[in-house]
Chains A and B, each alone.
Chain A
């Protein structure tokens, strides 16, 4: 592996190929055992238990404002690492294909005209034969604010694990 090559995890969402640096992804999991959480942001699917660690799961379709689609056996959760405190967030995508190398020569930065305040998570576009791969910074996609929001949920979920009937939640909603 030379310095002008980087490894990305290739995944798809609504027929579009995306790539994210392999260092941002800790692992890939099946979409299962997600517990919905009340009052969470609309794009938060719920929480799941990752080997004893309760992590929030968000739906990238909802986060990107793409129309919803039923999950199938190809749908996967990518476990994305938050740099600062090693906290992780699950991100649901349509499918995860492979780990691949891309060359800097095949990568172009996002044209400035496409850049907005919210689009700084798009790093550029890589070519792979005829296909284009949109390179994402998933850590930016899962913003600090979102993480804080989900952390609150985490704490809520964690406390609910210890005491199933927290005073702040009604039993009906948690049901």
Chain B
């Protein structure tokens, strides 16, 4: 309507000049001024819009960059979570190995304990046998003492018998001498002494036999003496050996007692070890539980990161779209501004014309 007015006013002005409707003119001028004002406002709005669009573009670019960074970060999170998951798996494996070891240790300690108990039994047997042996040796020693006494008695008896044999030999020698002298006497008296000589000869023979018998007895006594002293020294050796045997047995008993004490210590240590192994196994179970939790958390975290990654991609696309739209807004705004500038230029020309007309 205002354009119709302006065209009418313009043509009328040119054609007629002086018969211009003043009211219409001023109305047109006012209209143009309004157009100008509006156009300026529009241009200002457009400039603002461009600025906003630019900002929007910049922001969306920034957003895009941030989103990219976020994507990278969430990728890293995902990778880290996967690595953690792997580590957790390996830890779980290691813990299983540890478990096996602890189990074996427990079994070994039980075996050691069983062996220790067995050894304890044997040590007890040694102690028992040793006590019996000591008793036996004491009995043997007593018997040897008896043997020694008997042999000593026998030896003194033999000594006495030996003295008797010596006397017999002496008597035999004297008898022999008497017989010899009797024979000499008988021979010196000649025929008359003949009967006497026979007797003397018989006596001489008897003395000889007595001497021989006494010599044999002495030989027997000497070998008895020898045998006696052999028995004596053997018995003394046996006595000594029985003493050293008793000492050895006592040493063995003492050794067995020490073994027993040592075994008690070993058993105690094994019990402690077993208890510690049980504690270790309980702790290991806790650790495995913790690792399982870590593992599941890591997996959750990995899947969350993947989801987040997907979200980021979507966001990224949205940001890019936004950037494109901002660009188009900017372009459109720039075109609108150009057109507005054209409108403004035309409106200003129109204003001038109108002023000159009104002028």
Q: Which A residues are within 8 Å of any B CB, using their own CB? A: 1, 7, 9, 22-23, 25-30, 73, 76, 96, 98-99
Whether A28 and B173, one on each chain, are in contact in the complex, defined by CB atoms closer than 8 angstroms, is no
Whether A99 and B187, one on each chain, are in contact in the complex, defined by CB atoms closer than 8 angstroms, is yes
CB neighbours of A96 from chain B (8 A)? 180
Chain B 169-183 interface mask (CB, 8 Å, partner A; 1/0):
000010001001101
Closest 8 CB pairs of A and B: A99-B183, A7-B187, A22-B187, A27-B181, A99-B187, A28-B180, A25-B184, A99-B184
Majority secondary structure of chain B interface residues (helix, strand, loop or mixed): helix
Q: Report the separation of the CA atoms of residues A73 and B169 in the bound assembly, to the nearest whole angstrom.
A: 11
Majority secondary structure of chain A interface residues (helix, strand, loop or mixed): strand
Whether A98 and B180, one on each chain, are in contact in the complex, defined by CB atoms closer than 8 angstroms, is yes
CB neighbours of A73 from chain B (8 A)? 173
Q: Report the separation of the CA atoms of residues A1 and B181 in the bound assembly, to the nearest whole angstrom.
A: 19
- Interchain Cβ contacts within 8 Å, total number: 33
Cβ < 8 Å to A, chain B residues 194-213: 194, 197, 200, 204
Q: Report the separation of the CA atoms of residues A124 and B200 in the bound assembly, to the nearest whole angstrom.
A: 28
Whether A27 and B190, one on each chain, are in contact in the complex, defined by CB atoms closer than 8 angstroms, is no
The size bracket of the interface on B is 10 to 19
Whether B173 and A26, one on each chain, are in contact in the complex, defined by CB atoms closer than 8 angstroms, is no
With known contacts A28-B181, A73-B173, A98-B180, A23–B204 Cβ distance under 8 A: no
With known contacts A98-B204, A99-B183, A99-B197, A30–B188 Cβ distance under 8 A: no
Distance (whole angstroms) from the CB of B161 to the closest CB of chain A: 20
CB neighbours of B186 from chain A (8 A)? 99
Whether B188 and A1, one on each chain, are in contact in the complex, defined by CB atoms closer than 8 angstroms, is no
Q: Report the separation of the CA atoms of residues A30 and B333 in the bound assembly, to the nearest whole angstrom.
A: 180
Distance (whole angstroms) from the CB of A155 to the closest CB of chain B: 28
CB neighbours of A23 from chain B (8 A)? 188
A-B CB contact pairs (8 Å), 10 listed = A1-B190, A1-B191, A22-B184, A22-B188, A25-B184, A26-B184, A27-B185, A28-B180, A29-B177, A99-B197
CB neighbours of B181 from chain A (8 A)? 27-28
Chain B: CB-nearest residue to A7: B187
Known A-B contacts: A1-B191, A30-B177, A99-B197. Give 9 more (CB < 8 A): A9-B184, A28-B177, A28-B180, A73-B173, A98-B183, A98-B204, A99-B180, A99-B184, A99-B200
CB neighbours of A22 from chain B (8 A)? 184, 187-188
